[in-house]
């Protein structure tokens, strides 16, 4: 019984520490990029740790394709990426920031594409510290939970 209470408590704590909800109105339009083929955008500045790309395409035929790679200035690799799949519009949330970013778009068989960049809620330095502490706490709780499960499995 104690194990069930302990495990339930740990799961509740993990849920409370990891649940950060931002309302729709917290996103503010920053800029728009448009094209019909491959393109590397200009650099733009994000002041929050979470932002969104609302994208849409007008297909030229059924072989439409678009891949978007999010790059942080000064890094050779992408920090996030997505592809369009079957939809002609959708949103992609980027959980990287703050910093300067640019997008690399690889597109084919499209009449046009549009990417609207929306700034997420700004996070103060104090809030960033709290988020880091919460993330570290969640990692520790996850490690403790994993260790408990392994010990339980060894015991039975």
pLDDT of residue 149: 74
> Best-predicted range by mean pLDDT among 15-29, 66-80, 118-132?
66-80
Same domain, 66 and 133: no
> Could you give the count of Cα atoms lying within 13 Å of 111 in the half-sphere of its Cβ?
6
Same domain, 115 and 128: no
Same domain, 37 and 114: yes
- Contact at 8 Å (CB) between 88 and 57? yes
> Greater confidence, 91 or 16?
91
- Contact at 8 Å (CB) between 50 and 93? yes
Same domain, 48 and 96: yes
User: How does pLDDT run across 132-149, given as a tens digit for each residue?
Assistant: 666 667 666 777 777 777
Same domain, 29 and 2: no
CB atoms within 10 A of CB 113: 24
Q: Which domain holds residue 17?
A: 1-21+124-156
Read off the pTM.
0.65
Q: Sign of the C-alpha dihedral, residues 9, 137, 49, 127?
A: positive
pLDDT of residue 147: 75
């Amino acid at each position: 019984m104690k194990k069930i209470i302990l495990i339930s408590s740990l799961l509740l704590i993990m849920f409370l520490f990891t649940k950060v909800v931002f309302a729709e109105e917290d996103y503010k339009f920053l800029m728009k990029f448009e094209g019909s083929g491959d393109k590397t955008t200009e650099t733009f500045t994000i002041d929050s740790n979470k932002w969104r790309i609302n994208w849409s395409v007008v297909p030229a035929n059924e072989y439409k394709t678009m891949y978007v790679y999010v790059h942080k200035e000064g890094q050779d690799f992408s920090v996030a990426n997505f592809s369009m799949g079957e939809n002609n519009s959708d949103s992609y949330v980027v959980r990287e920031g703050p910093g300067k970013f640019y997008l690399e778009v690889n597109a084919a068989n499209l009449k046009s594409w549009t990417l609207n960049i929306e700034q997420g809620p700004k996070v103060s330095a104090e809030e960033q510290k709290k988020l880091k502490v919460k993330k570290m706490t969640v990692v520790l709780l996850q490690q403790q939970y994993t260790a408990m499960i392994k010990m339980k499995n060894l015991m039975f």
